[in-house]
A and B are shown apart, each in its own frame.
Chain A
Amino acid sequence: MKRSTLLVNAMLIAGAIVVAFPLLWMFSVSFMPRGAASAFPPPLLPPEPTLENYRELFSRHEAWRYMLNSALVATFATAIALVLNTMAGYAFAKLKFKGRERLFRILLGALVIPAQVTMIPLFAMVKGMGLVSTYGGVIIPSMASVFGIFLVRQYALSLPDELLEAARIDGASEWRIFRSVVVPLLKPIVITLGILTFLATWNDFMWPLIVLTDQKMHTLPVALAGLSREHVQDNELMMAGAVITVLPVLVLFLALQRYYIAGILAGSIKG
């Protein structure tokens, strides 16, 4: 083997070890008995693996509750965002209506505004609507997104007009065409948008932290942040908490990786 081949592959392996180490160690420590991780030198593998940390999380700290909250919030937000963004993205690409181009340009302009600017008035609104500490309150900012509309529009532009015209001549209504012709053709981008939205809402922190004042309603990240402040020294328990937060999205990503990466690439071409 040539020296450059050896060097490149050695660097790739070294990089992978550094990058993967925190996640691998998180798994390993989560199976260590209490206090085993507070030792020097830091142990790499549990001396005697135990599920004690997970048991404590689920029994004493009611982790199942936060898991359920996270799952429901991410699922509801994804379902609504998929319907609204797909409909709008398709219309911006394929249906002609007055002011379409100008409207789309305004939406794209809004991409430069960070969502945090809206958080304070949004909290006042959500409070006024009585939605503080409810699932409805958390999913409000994720229900529709300019990025999602943009993503679907770019994909829908490539749909053949003849196909839609043929369906119209057959007398199908616009809604019917959307349901039975367009949505099946948009399936790849719908999956991409779905996984992007699900992961974003599952991982989201600042808005749920603000709007979920009742601890019973906390999502996993908010609950974990609170728990980690009380249990600074309980490394094994905290690693177990990190595992149950990260594992679902990690598995989902590994299963649907292709679609996720397609979404990133489609989104970055806007520049």
Chain B
Amino acid sequence: MRRSFAGWWFVAPALIVLATFFFVPVLAAFGMSLTDFDIYALTDLSNLRFVGFQNYRTLLHEPLFWKSLGNTFYFVVLGVPLSIGASLAAALLVNSKVARFRGFFRTVYFAPVITTLVAVAVVWRYIFHTRYGFLNYALGFIGIDPIDWIGDPKWAMPAIVILAVWKNFGYNMIIILAALQSIPDDLYEAARIDGASYWQQFRHVTLPSLQPVLLLVSILTMAGYFQLFAEPYVMTEGGPLDSTKSVLFYMYEEGFKWWSLGRASAVAFVLFVIIFAITLLQLRIGRREATV
């Protein structure tokens, strides 16, 4: 009896905080998305009106919302495969038996993960500079003309993808590396005895063994990439021509620039539903592939 009481005392502080500052706001976000919550309601709640699904209907007819949704999908579709590809390549290299100084390389590759996003976005904005940036200078050596990375609507999002891949690939690399190290050596041994080449070993031993962990990292990375915000905020301010405005950026402006907090809540909820739906979809596809 005493112990059952003690357990509650131990979890109570964390649960109260989570309930008050996480679970209640999640429900409140849905509630707010059904109202015209604005700056007047922020000072006096009696100014609040229930509007049903009006905010969601308005969003459907708002070109900028669709544009930001499209931009975010573009970022995810381009960024997630590139990130995971880079993570996988780095993990394979660092895990290679012939590699030297593996600990050192692992640390170097991982370092961008822990850096402050705002700071490295400032650094990359300079690297992307059309005239003085290092990237165009380096590209010049292989005969590529200077690209207006930040100023050209065609190139601004790819520039953000480059930053995101550089910043994030080390995280999944660590997870994939751990999975690689848990593949039993006998599997490779058996494949070698059967005369399998390096490529065949990779294709028939490594990749199938990594399948669950690749599914996991793709779900986590996808969910993270849908929450794109600081990169465009610092590097491009959503421009040029709104080509890097993400859904969260749109939500931020609706909420804290125009103070339409009701509509901003609706944006947040739409984003949540999209992430949730795509996660379920990935899980289902992943499970079906696993049973084949």
Contact = CB atoms under 8 A, between A and B. Distances in A.
Interface stretch (B62-70, B98-106, B203-211): B98-106
A90 B119 contact: no
Interface string A107-126: 10010111111111111110
Nearest to B230: A205
A259 B84 CA distance: 24
Given A22-B166, A221-B116, A221-B119, A96 B96 contact: no
Contacts of B119: 220-221, 224, 241-243, 245-246
A238 B265 CA distance: 34
A260 B114 contact: yes
B245 to A, nearest CB: 15
B268 interface: yes
B133 A19 contact: no
B111 A221 contact: no
Interface in B137-178: 137, 166, 170-171, 174-175, 178
A160 interface: no
Contacts of A22: 112, 120, 123-124, 127, 166
A8 B96 contact: yes
**Chain B binding surface SS class:** helix
A185 interface: no
Nearest to A119: B268
A265 B175 contact: yes
A245 B230 CA distance: 15
B17 A206 contact: no
B88 interface: no
Contacts of B18: 107, 110, 144-146
A19 B4 contact: no
Interface string A227-255: 01100000100110111011001100110
Interface string B231-271: 00110010000000000100110011000010011001101
Contact of A271 (B4, B11, B21, B212): B212
B93 A25 contact: no
A92 B111 CA distance: 33
A203 B123 contact: no
B84 to A, nearest CB: 14
A119 B245 CA distance: 19
Interface residues of B, number: 97
Nearest to A127: B42
B8 interface: yes
**Chain A binding surface SS class:** helix
B134 interface: yes
Contact of B32 (A20, A25, A120, A222): A120
B114 A253 contact: yes
Nearest to B23: A110
Contacts of A29: 126
B261 A110 contact: no
Interface stretch (A9-17, A57-65, A186-194): A9-17
B123 A25 contact: yes
A221 B25 contact: no
B42 A250 contact: no
A20 B271 contact: no
B21 A143 contact: yes
A38 interface: yes
A42 interface: yes
B199 to A, nearest CB: 12
Contact of A120 (B122, B127, B265): B265
Given A9-B98, A121-B265, A242 B120 contact: yes
A42 B132 contact: yes
A100 interface: yes
Nearest to A90: B10
Nearest to B175: A268
A88 B15 contact: yes
Contact of A12 (B3, B94, B219, B223): B94
Contacts of A31: none
B93 A12 contact: yes
Contact of B134 (A25, A107, A114): A25
Contacts of B220: 268
Contacts of A245: 116, 118-119
Contacts of A46: none
Contacts of A69: none
A11 to B, nearest CB: 6
Interface in A62-115: 83-85, 87-88, 90-92, 95-98, 100, 103, 107, 110, 112-115
Interface of B: 2-11, 13-15, 17-18, 21-26, 28-29, 31-32, 37, 42, 90, 93-94, 96, 98-101, 105, 107-112, 114-120, 122-127, 129, 131-134, 137, 166, 170-171, 174-175, 178, 212-213, 215-217, 219-220, 223, 226-227, 229-230, 233-234, 237, 248, 251-252, 255-256, 261, 264-265, 268-269, 271-272, 275-276, 279
16 contacts: A19-B109, A26-B123, A38-B131, A84-B13, A91-B6, A103-B11, A113-B22, A117-B25, A117-B26, A120-B29, A124-B28, A124-B37, A205-B117, A225-B122, A242-B116, A253-B114
Given A19-B170, A113-B22, A241-B122, 4 more contacts: A22-B123, A88-B11, A241-B119, A249-B115
